[in-house]
Chain A
Amino acid sequence: MANLATWGNELYTGKRSYPFIGKRKIWFLIAGILVLASIILPIAKGGFNLGIEFRGGSEFTISGVAHQDIAPGEQAVSQIAPDSHPSVTNIAANTMRIQTDKLSDEQTVQVAQALADAYGVNKSEVTSTFIGPSWGADVSRQALWGLVVFVVLVTLLMAAYFRTWKMSIAAIIGLFAVVVITIGIYSLSNFEVTPSTIIGFLTILSYSLYDTVVVFDKIRENTHHVFEQKKRTFAELVNLAINQTLVRSINTSVVAVLPVGSILFIGTFMLGAGTLQDLSLALFVGIIVGTLCTVFVQAPLYAAMRMNEPAIRKHDAQVLEQREVSA
């Protein structure tokens, strides 16, 4: 703690300072490249690994299997529905998942029985899911709606709280960077995109903005009386605020990531694909990207947006002039 606390002290007093604002063009460039890559990557890969909620099909899950061979599962499905393209996966210890093209009700019942026989379990251990392709589209449309409603409401909320539109706009632009980059990284992982994933992304919006509000609050506090002092320029005050909240940013994101990481780890290595895994990967990446974006994109963006205001330019000139005089 000693070193981190000392580090925190130095950040707080401004003795140690990282040039978040000064080097903003580099950060924006990096963020821009990442956003671009996140858009290109999924296209280059030929789209996302969509879950059957988006493709449509039948899914069977078999618990407590006697063995985890893939061939018997494929064979069992092919016997009944020869053209159904079964994909058999071992998703967790003793659990198999079989996804197929859409089966009829009768076929579903027969396949469930055949799978139970093939894996030596009781029929009650076989669960079947049928999902229409429009289901995933519906979820996405709803999610998109949620996104629009949330962004509008939160923009208003932030504008009212901070009493400046520029903070809202900087926060929202940064937010899109967060979401796009998270989607890009998610695509890289090749995890399936399921409705849980979509909801994970929506939750990131909340976390990312939460983090931004905390940092912006400090910026607001620091720059509230910007014109009443002649020691620091506006950009310097913003930079100081970011540095002063750096320890907090690190601590909160570590604390937020720990439980999510625990779900992700257990979800991935002990349970396999499912609600927990999809949700937690989106959150895990999103929280980290969200914190980084607040510090490197959103706050510098806000400073950049305001630095050209005449009053602030004038004040900055005064500060620099005085600095030269005293030097």
Chain B
Amino acid sequence: MSKTGPIRHARKALLWLGVIFIMLSILMGVGIMTNNASFAPKLALDLEGGTQMILAPQVSGGAPATQEQLDQAVQIIRDRVDGSGVSEAEITTQSGKNVVVSMPGVPDAKTRELIKASANMEFRAVIEADQRVTAVPEDQRTPAKDLPKPTAKPENGSDPNWVDAKLQKEFEAFDCVAEIGKGASVVHDPTKPMVACEPSTATTYILGPVEVPGTDIKDASSGPERNSQGAPTGGWSVNLEFTGPGQAAFRTVTERITPLAPPRNQFAILLDGTVISAPRSQAIIADGRASITGGFTEASAKDLAEQLKYGALPISFTIQSEQQISATLGTDQLRMGLISGIIGLVLVAIYSFFQYRLLGLVTMASLIVAGVLTYQAIILLGWAQNYRLSLAGIAGIIVAIGLTADSFIVYFERVRDELREGRALISAVETGWKRAKRTIIASKAVNLLAAFVLYMVAVGNVKGFAFTLGLTAIADLVVVFLFTHPMLQILAQTKFFGQGHRLSGLDPSLLGAVPLYRGAGQIRRFNQEAPEARGKKNTAAAAEAERRQTIAERRQAAAKTGSTGNADTKESDRG
């Protein structure tokens, strides 16, 4: 290959690396400018302090929870946790069977109850409705003398006699905004009326006692709305199906409320004490198949149907594992983790210099580039995906130092092999790379596969470990292709490396190249070449080595010169 070929290639590769680096930096800059990202990686709960709970679903009847049920449960728990004022909670499903709730700080008993409680869905009849989301101002509230006084015992769920002075006061003082999310923590007596609001329509209601519990819902689905002739109207409807007892109860309700004046012809569907829908009853539903229509979009109909279908399912959770990690402990572990990382890096550096002399500099520079790329990726993923670095993740990065250096060693050893074959450095770098490339890709594929499998099956913060292992494996591939190899191509052109300076790590004579072997004399030869640079101890050691090796080498040299020569050896090695 001509002298300009590798150099041009090297420049191109380095340019690409530069482009990647600049693009990541710009992205980071944008993130930081918009205050959504920061220079420090986001830390996971184990390093920042917080609580992680792993919840096992308990479905009534003992059936395993489906992924859909779990997703719905996650949504419900997220609403509850966010509603109770804890921010930054992460709620995810885990391996399709558990729900993991992670939140900073320590949850109080109430929050814990909130998370464990099963979703509570119920149907209640509407007694009064008022289109507002905040409390009625004090001065506009009904004066004490005008507060309703029930004249008789209420007869059914829609009877205005349920509304007494206390309930009316509560109704007027009800602040929908403040109450959202608290629903699940407040137990509402199913036999008593209650005040609740529907956030989507900004309406506050007085509702009668529970008429149909959510467990009586058999199924719910959404679909295009059809008129009495069965032609689509263009709207969307939610279709409900009740079980046997639900069927009867629902029939009773619709029979009673359909002729009533608004708003008492409405029934409210509550999830965790919040009204998710309050449809008007337009017909008596005797067969247990109800259809809710009016103002739905495809998405909102689907949402409601899912809420009805899964929200009604009485999934409760048991806390399978609850871990509280204080930040104090986390900081300590973080510091020690970083210290061991630095020590590991220094040890790798020392060993690289020992083994590869100034090529060790290339190793270090490559590791630094890999580190920078990994850092940028972590920051960006933290911004985009809320990726947080856990202690296990940091352990993954430290382990990756060694794995990253591995691919350089595979490469360097290949180049050395080529030098041993008697090639000049420039071509040794090229052929060595061609062969090392395959090996590096194949072995990194194994690493990536492992990281991927680990990530998919891993639990808890071990995911972080797998994630960083995978991330660093990719960074390693980028670096070895776009930095290490081009650097070696460029260095091969320099006098220092190209002529195989003794400290370059690529000294052909030291590697036994040209000629491959000349018997015992050879060692003496390169010892004598630069005796001044070697310490007294080294000289002594070399002399000792020489004395020891001479006999064995002479014998072997004698044997070799007889039948097999260097040319033969080479031929077969080249295979």
Contact with B along A101-130 (1 / 0, CB 8 A): 000010000000000000000001111111
B-contact 0/1 string along A59-86, CB 8 Å cutoff: 0010110000000000000000000000
Across the interface, which residues of B come within 8 angstroms of A199, CB to CB?
Answer: 392, 454, 458, 462, 465-466
Q: Please, which residues of chain A bring their CB within 8 A of the CB of B560?
A: 15
Q: Is the interface of A mostly helix, strand, loop or mixed?
A: helix
Is the C-beta of A44 less than 8 angstroms from some C-beta in chain B? Answer: no
A161 to B333 alpha-carbon distance, docked (Å): 41
Give CA–CA (A207, B517) in the complex, Å: 36
In the docked arrangement, what's the CA distance between A326 and B420, Å? 27
Could you tell me if A149 and B457 are in contact, using CB atoms closer than 8 angstroms? yes
The complex places the Cα of A263 from the Cα of B466 at a distance, in Å, of 17
B5 contacts chain A at the CB level, 8 A cutoff: no
Instruction: Identify the closest chain B residue to A146 (Cβ).
Output: B457
Distance of A204 from chain B, by nearest CB (Å) = 10
Q: Are A259 and B450 in contact (CB under 8 A)?
A: no
Tell yes or no: A260 within 8 A of B by CB.
yes
Interface: B336 (CB within 8 A): yes
Which of A150-158, A184-192, A305-313 makes up part of the contact surface? A150-158
Q: A199–B560 Cα gap in the complex (Å)?
A: 51
Q: Is the CB–CB distance between A214 and B462 below 8 Å?
A: no
Q: Are B575 and A255 in contact (CB under 8 A)?
A: no
Contacting residue for A134 out of B320, B339, B392, B403, CB 8 A: B320
For B393-420 the 0/1 string (1 means CB < 8 A from A) is 0010011011101100110010011001
Mark out the residues of chain A between 208 and 243 whose CB falls within 8 Å of any chain B CB in the assembled complex: 209-211, 213-214, 217-218, 221-226, 229, 231-232, 237, 240
Which of A18-26, A28-36, A136-144, A295-303 is the contact stretch? A136-144
Quick one: closest B residue to A156, CB to CB? B449
Cα separation A17 to B391 with both chains bound (whole Å): 44
Per the bound structure, the CA–CA distance linking A289 and B560 in Å amounts to 36
Q: From the candidates A5, A259, A270, name the one contacting B345 in the complex (CB within 8 A).
A: A259
Q: Which one of B203-211, B271-279, B324-332 contacts A?
A: B324-332
Asked if residues A14 and B573 are in contact (CB atoms below 8 Å), the reply is yes
With A13-B512, A259-B341 known to touch, is A210 a contact of B326 (CB < 8 Å)? no
Query: In the bound complex, how far is the Cα of B342 from the Cα of A258, in angstroms?
Result: 11
> A1-B510, A275-B391 given as contacts; is B460 within 8 A of A258 (CB)?
no
Whether A13 touches B343, Cβ cut-off 8 Å, given contacts A199-B454, A280-B395, is no
B: contact size bracket? 35 or more
Shortest distance from the beta carbon of B50 to any chain A beta carbon, whole Å: 10
B347 CB contacts on chain A under 8 angstroms = 258-259, 261-262
Q: Which residue of B lies closest to A274 (CB)?
A: B333
Total A-B residue contacts, Cβ distance less than 8 Å = 277
Q: How distant is B567 from chain A, measured CB to nearest CB, in Å?
A: 12
Quick one: which of A222, A245, A263 contacts B573, CB cutoff 8 A? A222
Q: Which secondary structure dominates where chain B touches chain A?
A: helix
B333 and A271: CB pair below 8 A? yes
The answer to whether A2 and B340 have CB atoms under 8 Å apart is: no
Query: Interface 1/0s, chain A 177-211, versus B by CB < 8 A?
Result: 00000000000000000011001001101110111
A131 within 8 A of B: yes
> Contacts A124-B326, A142-B95, A213-B443: A251 and B341 contacting too (C-beta < 8 A)?
no
Please provide the chain B residues from 510 to 543 with a CB less than 8 Å away from any CB of chain A in the complex: 510-512, 516-517, 523, 526, 542
For residue A251, which residues in chain B have a CB less than 8 angstroms away from its CB? 351, 355, 409, 413
Bound-state Cα–Cα, A132 to B320, Å: 5
CA distance A95 to B333 in the complex (A): 12
Q: Does A172 make an interface contact (CB < 8 A)?
A: no
Distance in angstroms between the alpha carbons of A285 and B494 in the assembled complex? 41
Q: Is B323 an interface residue (CB 8 A)?
A: yes
Contacting pair A1 B354 (CB below 8 A) = yes
Is A8 a contact of B446 with CB atoms below 8 Å? no
**What CA separation (Å) do A192 and B443 show in the bound complex?**
31
> Is B313's beta carbon under 8 Å from chain A?
no
Choose one: A138, A157, A274; the contact of B445 (CB below 8 Å).
A157
| In the complex, A135 has a CB within 8 A of chain B | yes
Return the chain B residue nearest A109 by Cβ. B109
Taking the closest CB of chain A, its distance from the CB of B343, in whole angstroms, is 4
Distance to closest chain A CB from B573 (angstroms)? 7
Task: Mark contacts of B451-492 with chain A using CB atoms, 8 A cut-off: 1 yes-contact digit, 0 otherwise.
Answer: 101101111111001100100000000000000000000000
Q: Which residues of chain B come closer than 8 Å to A259, judged between CB atoms?
A: 340-341, 344-345, 347-348, 398-399, 401-402
Contact B402 A205 (CB under 8 A): no
Cβ-based interface call for B569 (8 A): yes
Q: B439 at the A/B interface (Cβ < 8 Å)?
A: yes
Known A95-B329, A129-B323, A258-B402; further 10 A-B contacts with Cβ < 8 A: A126-B326, A127-B329, A135-B321, A199-B454, A203-B399, A206-B449, A214-B410, A217-B438, A247-B413, A276-B337
Q: List 18 A-B contacts (CB under 8 A).
A: A1-B354, A5-B511, A9-B420, A15-B560, A63-B329, A64-B328, A127-B325, A135-B320, A139-B459, A146-B456, A150-B453, A150-B454, A153-B453, A154-B450, A210-B406, A255-B405, A267-B336, A276-B336
Q: Which 8 A-B pairs have the closest CB atoms?
A: A259-B344, A206-B450, A9-B512, A256-B402, A146-B457, A262-B344, A258-B347, A266-B340
Interface residues of B (CB under 8 A from A): 46, 54, 56, 95, 98, 109, 112, 319-326, 328-329, 332-333, 336-337, 339-341, 343-345, 347-348, 351-352, 354-355, 357, 391-392, 395, 398-399, 401-403, 405-406, 409-410, 413, 416-417, 420, 435, 438-439, 442-447, 449-451, 453-454, 456-462, 465-466, 469, 505, 510-512, 516-517, 523, 526, 542, 545, 556, 560, 563, 566, 568-569, 571-573, 575
